[in-house]
Structure 1
Amino acid sequence: MTDAKSAFTLTRRDDGIAVLTMDVPGESMNTLKGEFADDIAQILDEVESDSSIKGLVLISGKDNSFVAGADVSMLDKCQSADEAEALAAGGQAIFQRMENMKITTVAAINGPALGGGLELALACHYRVCTDSDKTAMGLPEVQLGLLPGSGGTQRLPKLIGIQKAMTLMLTGKQVRPKQAKKYGLVDDVVPKSILMDVAVKLANQRKPNRSGPKLNLTGKLLERTPVGRNIMFSQARKQTNKKTRGNYPAPDRIIDCIEAGVSGKKGYQTEAHHFGQLVMTPESKQLRNIFFATTEMKKEKGVEGVDAGELKKAGVLGGGLMGGGIAFVTATKAGLPVRIKDIRSEGIANAKNYAYDLLMKKVKRRFMRKTEMQKQMSLITGTTDYSGFHDADMVIEAVFEDLDLKQNMVADVEKHCHKDTIFATNTSSIPINQIAAKAERPENVVGLHYFSPVEKMPLAEVIPHKGTSDKTISTTVDMARKQGKTPIVVKDGAGFYVNRILAPYMNEAANILLGGEPVKQIDDALLNFGFPVGPIKLLDEVGIDIGAKISPILQAELGDRFQAPDAFEKLLNDDRKGKKNKKGFYDYNGKKPGKEVDESVYSLLGVSPSQKLSHDQISERCVLLMLNEAALCLAEDVIRSPRDGDIGAIFGIGFPPFLGGPFHYMDSLGIKQVVARLEHYAGLYGDKFSPAPILKEMAEKGKTFY
């Protein structure tokens, strides 16, 4: 037996099979740490020197996970690329030693086996996993601006084929048990109750003689001939660059490592070298910052020292796209029964169909069993009145933006639900204090603002008004988290945080368009900057009518810098609402719906398009206004910290993650430089570019946000 305080315990069974259990003390999930290298080496020495051991099973002592990856914080301690490269080479050496062992080794996987955890399993001769919903395998390093550095880029392609392996590594996608078996990633999928029995049985067998993955004819031509591989890698690079636009170095390096491995050119050395280089890039640094920030936020309560109330049932008012999405995440992620109310039974049917279609996709992809899908669907029920709402602990309102309607709903909920029922409003622009103005129990009223589509967008803004109770805030934050969201608590006020920083950015893009720049030029400039969608395209996606509604609310409360260009009026008079009515800036009726610009929009706006500005000039003008507004939000306590502001912008509107969010980005540019550029544009385009007082003060004192 090894030291009781160690993360590793070696147990010998009577049948000659040894079991190595990993259980990192004091942590909910296992992660691989640099200091474990000596422990593992010692255990391998012990196993190899004991001739009575015929096989080795690796299993987790945690009930919910195998190994969730390597400890990311150890990378921050690396002072140089050489140091990080040595870390990768050390991991490679240990896993290589495991692979070379004379006895048979088996990874018994239950729960997540991700990153270094999957690389550990790949170094074993067999892998068996449970059929649990929590079991998932993947190499998500690319999401931290890194690559799998302990042999993952070399072993995975040999096991499941180059194309499948490349897709998993370039996307960071996780695979579920059935899919893993189909790919050849695991040898068997079994119920948790017999995981150890099956693993022991495999450990008693000879090492497998694997001849590589089964491929169809096209696969063989692409993966097993030099010409095919050249075509495959060159296409992969082309597609990758189309997606990353050169902003993320990791995907290209991943392709390099795989290519080096299959062509026999020092694959492992290439992997360790590139890993070391990537650890030191600013992109990876910022992506790791996001990882640490979100991990930290998971531990926080809405109000420190105030526990969340227990939620057993939820209600949703409105069966539209937002209501359907909210009901879906409440039932499937939070696991709560949810009752939808809509004035029309078609609305309820639409919301239920929305959930059904999303779940059926998972069933078809073998992510979920049909019985599980049926169980989740049974949690969603509907009604055209308030029957079944009496025991709802939280009711989330998702109807259109109308103050009277929302106030009436508060009154209805107070009448039909119990006295502690929380009324959460998904308004995107109306201040919460106005919605709560006529409430009998204003302490139960709170804003809970989701982003569309709800099932995909990771952010939720929790907006208390002055009278919201601390208990309500903590319970709402807890609910958002259970729904799979990252919640930030923001101060009540027009636009809250995300829409407030988005509006000046969008308005400036419209001003640039009215100045004669082509739509495509503007959208491409911001795509190259790193946003997932250009601002003009975003207007079409969100709805031009919605954009037109929000601007006057912001202008009334926050001043003329929010004045929208006259373009909205002209567009709406021509019934252009965007994608939803197939009439906007882009053409939705041609051969490529939504891909080409509708040229008739230029004459409608009285513009002759011609390219005068560079991509950098366009992106700088739009982004500076967003940065300035974010700084004002911090100064006015709209957000609690720069960290919340960064996470809100990244998760709410897709601010480029590799730049770390508006506040990290301002720090990296230098606050003096931000102020200088704002003043430059204020000279050209007026007061809307006036630097926020907080920025001027910080520039004078040489301060930073972090």
Structure 2
Amino acid sequence: MAKAKKATENTEATSAFTLQERENGIAILTIDVPGESMNTLKIEFSEQISVMLDQIESNNNIKGVVVVSGKDNSFVAGADISMLASCETAEDAQAISQGGQEIFQRIEDMQAHFVAAIHGPALGGGLELALACHSRVCSDDSKTQLGLPEVQLGLLPGSGGTQRLPRLIGVQKAMKMMLTGAPVRAKQALKYGIVDDMVPQSILLDVAIELAQKSKPAKKQPKLDLMGKFLEKTPFGRSTLFNQARKQTLAKTKGNYPAPELIIDCIESGISKGIEHGMRVEATNFGQLVMSAESEQLRNIFFATTEMKKETGVSGVEPAKLHKIGVLGGGLMGGGIAFVTATKAGLPARIKDIRPEGIANAMKYSYDLLNKKVKRRFIRKSEMQKQMSLLTGSVDYSGFGDADVVIEAVFEDLTLKQNMVNDVETHCNENTIFASNTSSIPIGQIADKAKRPEQVIGLHYFSPVDKMPLAEVIAHDKTSDLTISTTVDLARKQGKTPIVVKDGAGFYVNRILAPYMNEAANVLLAGEPIEHIDNALVKFGFPVGPVKLLDEVGIDVGTKIIPILMAQFGDRFKSADAFDKVLADDRKGKKNKRGFYAYTGKKPGKEVDESVYELLGITPAKGLSGNEIAERCVLMMLNEAAMCLDEDVIRSPRDGDIGAIFGIGFPPFLGGPFRYMDKLGAQHVVDRLNHYASQFGDKFTPAQRLLDMAKNKQTFY
């Protein structure tokens, strides 16, 4: 490799960019944002990078430029979205987009051959920067991923991404990446044609330098099959493609998210009227989205989860070091917990079940998930074997002596769980934490006979464990601060977003879910068709309707919590008679293929089992609007959330919002129950609750917290 001839650096010591010229006519442009663990693009960088581009343009010796990261874990992880908060109008945000477009267009127009050397995430603005370069090389490392995730924040790629990516890899692949926001790994990026080469990290810079010494390549055409050529290269095909994309997008978003449709508009404008027109549409649409209520709430969620990642369970209390985890029970929950422990946390997991088949099933759970990743080439077989080697099992407590935390995932039976506590205290060490994955039994009761109650805690996962992002960490009144912080640390290592909640029936998530589900059952018993109820809540923004959700979770499981809630909170939680009748008919939902929905025929689980109406003694007929059904069910959830905050079940409105969004799919674009109540106004929420209380009784009585807030014109945030 040629020796460095001279280093030309920005005069400001704080610049994120440095330029190093080499003897072979190649310059290395390094991005290294001071004081940050990952590179993100900030608005003030435009001046810094302009200085660099001026230097490159004025130096005839520079024939090629390699853009590389000074961080060892990322290329550029995206733009710093906190800068959008300063925008007061759509024009302000549009100007940010235009600024990014101009810088990247300048890179594309440079005489020197720009090559992006990508290792680690190249996301959002990071990928847009790479796309403006003339060539791209990436490392084959598992950390390397390329994507445009802006849609997840209610935005669109605003620095040319909607224009350059479709031209590089074709409209269909580019549209899929932008509409889902899902990144692609190195191998897939090469296959798509996003990068020109994929090499080991150790030679990434050498290969990029070699490429930069060559002439700038001609603009590549995307590789398309025959159908692709018809859809993307003919007017009729393009019209069909974009119409279908809009139809499918609307079916998914129900019109609640404006970003996907505006992304499609940007791509279509650019393809049909040229890149300059496409850029103008992109900047305009970006400005519009930054000022939208939906994007504001999605950005709030992003900031909240980022903030939560920095917190320990108890302020100032560092977690204990974790070396090994025990899991009791080899069922679906136990198998899922063992999987995230081994694959996400990278910790050995020892599984105990009373039957060898239980252990085998738990192992198979992980094997099947990992094998799918191997088949899709997301991971190598050697990586799968390494992760599987972290899983072991036994039918007794051998191998549990050195476990730091033992997570119990057995049946919802208080005596059984108390016996498990005793077993762990007998067979494990004196520092072992006992974490119960109960969904409903108060932790104080589980710890009631413990010798070391300070080491007993709740760690409530949601099913399926490998997919659901939330974990509730439940401390009873004797749980120690060290136990809380260590459990929060474990949940985070397992890839979860943990919220710490106070002990009590239903904890937080199931407690706010129960009255919502009950109200849906009451509406059903009043004669509203099941699909009408479910459609109303899906249109409101939930991923599935309440009746469908009950079938998915299991009607027996979903209703088990009701008596526990009634024991603590009284008749407010009294369930509708519908549940008893349905259970008495051996309808448990999807798992035994008998529920509110039919699981035989051409569309299993898609159509209502009409015989359930006869069972419930009702003749279904639409009497209520979808809006009224949604309002009744959601108000019950909102009111209960306010009570939970008032009783310190949750620590803050933020935790309550994240818990509802990640635990039960509360519509993210509404920001969570507390952000939504702020949007509606406390007085409006109180008025609507009183309106329904006059019709349906005390269960709609507004929480005292809401009454006080309405009186004093307060908000949660």
1:10 to 3, 15, 19: 19
Count residues in correspondence: 706
Amino acid of the structure 1 residue aligned with 2:354 = I
CA drift of 1:221 comes to: 0.5
Residue deviations 1:295-345, cap 9 Å, x none? Answer: 000001100000000000101111111111111100000000111111111
In structure 2, do the counterparts of structure 1 residues 360 and 405 end up closer, same or farther at CA, with 3 Å as the change threshold? Answer: same
- Measured in 1, the distance between the counterparts of 2:46 and 2:558 equals 55
The alignment status of 1:704 with 2:706, answered yes or no, reads no
CA drift of 1:34 comes to: 0.4
- Corresponding residue for 2:698? 687
- Corresponding residue for 2:171? 162
- Corresponding residue for 2:287? 276
CA drift of 1:589 comes to: 1.1
Contact 1:158–1:212 (8 Å) recurs in 2: yes
Match of 2:273, SS state, is coil
Contact 1:176–1:366 (8 Å) recurs in 2: no
- Measured in 2, the distance between the counterparts of 1:163 and 1:312 equals 45
- Measured in 1, the distance between the counterparts of 2:200 and 2:405 equals 36
2:681 to 670, 693, 699: 670
- Corresponding residue for 1:366? 377
- Measured in 2, the distance between the counterparts of 1:211 and 1:156 equals 11
CA drift of 1:528 comes to: 0.2
CA drift of 1:356 comes to: 1.1
Mapping of 1:301-380 within 5 angstroms?
301-380=312-391
Match of 1:621, SS state, is helix
Match of 1:705, SS state, is coil
The alignment status of 1:173 with 2:195, answered yes or no, reads no
CA drift of 1:367 comes to: 1.2
- Corresponding residue for 2:3? none
CA drift of 1:205 comes to: 1.0
Match of 2:548, SS state, is helix
- Measured in 1, the distance between the counterparts of 2:173 and 2:357 equals 42
Residue deviations 1:616-672, cap 9 Å, x none? Answer: 000000000000000000000000000000000000000000000000000000110
- Corresponding residue for 1:472? 483
The alignment status of 1:656 with 2:656, answered yes or no, reads no
- Measured in 1, the distance between the counterparts of 2:168 and 2:466 equals 33
Amino acid of the structure 2 residue aligned with 1:431 = P
Amino acid of the structure 2 residue aligned with 1:151 = G
- Measured in 1, the distance between the counterparts of 2:681 and 2:173 equals 42
Mapping of 1:42-441 within 5 angstroms?
42-265=51-274, 266-441=277-452
Deviates more, 1:344-353 or 1:205-214: 205-214
Contact 1:317–1:398 (8 Å) recurs in 2: yes
- Measured in 2, the distance between the counterparts of 1:172 and 1:362 equals 19
- Corresponding residue for 1:35? 44
- Measured in 2, the distance between the counterparts of 1:4 and 1:301 equals 34
Amino acid of the structure 2 residue aligned with 1:219 = G
CA drift of 1:6 comes to: 1.1
Match of 1:56, SS state, is strand
- Measured in 1, the distance between the counterparts of 2:388 and 2:170 equals 36
Match of 1:10, SS state, is strand
Deviates more, 1:235-244 or 1:207-216: 207-216
Residue deviations 1:474-527, cap 9 Å, x none? Answer: 000000000000000000000000000000000000000000000000000000
Match of 1:594, SS state, is coil
- Measured in 2, the distance between the counterparts of 1:118 and 1:134 equals 15
Amino acid of the structure 1 residue aligned with 2:21 = R
CA drift of 1:548 comes to: 2.1
Residue deviations 1:391-410, cap 9 Å, x none? Answer: 11111111110001111111
The alignment status of 1:587 with 2:598, answered yes or no, reads yes
- Measured in 1, the distance between the counterparts of 2:104 and 2:635 equals 48
CA RMSD of superposed structures (Å): 0.7
TM-score, normalised to structure 1, is 0.99
Amino acid of the structure 2 residue aligned with 1:534 = G
Contact 1:447–1:463 (8 Å) recurs in 2: yes
Residue deviations 1:403-428, cap 9 Å, x none? Answer: 01111111111111111011110000
- Structure 1's unaligned 5+ residue stretches are none
- Measured in 2, the distance between the counterparts of 1:653 and 1:668 equals 20
Contact 1:114–1:140 (8 Å) recurs in 2: yes
Contact 1:6–1:25 (8 Å) recurs in 2: yes
- Measured in 2, the distance between the counterparts of 1:220 and 1:211 equals 15
- Structure 2's unaligned 5+ residue stretches are 1-8
1:522 to 504, 526, 533: 533
CA drift of 1:278 comes to: 0.4
Contact 1:431–1:494 (8 Å) recurs in 2: yes
- Corresponding residue for 2:5? none
Residue deviations 1:549-569, cap 9 Å, x none? Answer: 110100111111100011111
CA drift of 1:189 comes to: 1.1
1:550 to 561, 580, 591: 561
- Measured in 1, the distance between the counterparts of 2:196 and 2:423 equals 56
- Measured in 2, the distance between the counterparts of 1:494 and 1:590 equals 39
Mapping of 1:442-591 within 5 angstroms?
442-591=453-602
CA drift of 1:211 comes to: 3.4
Match of 2:296, SS state, is helix
Amino acid of the structure 2 residue aligned with 1:642 = P
Deviates more, 1:363-372 or 1:507-516: 363-372
Residue deviations 1:248-303, cap 9 Å, x none? Answer: 00000000000011112510000000000000000000000000000000001100
- Measured in 2, the distance between the counterparts of 1:427 and 1:310 equals 24
- Measured in 2, the distance between the counterparts of 1:67 and 1:45 equals 22
Residue deviations 1:144-172, cap 9 Å, x none? Answer: 00000000000000111100000000000
CA drift of 1:133 comes to: 1.2
CA drift of 1:4 comes to: 3.0
CA drift of 1:214 comes to: 1.0
- Measured in 2, the distance between the counterparts of 1:142 and 1:16 equals 40
Match of 1:619, SS state, is helix
Match of 1:297, SS state, is helix
TM-score, normalised to structure 2, is 0.98
Amino acid of the structure 1 residue aligned with 2:208 = A
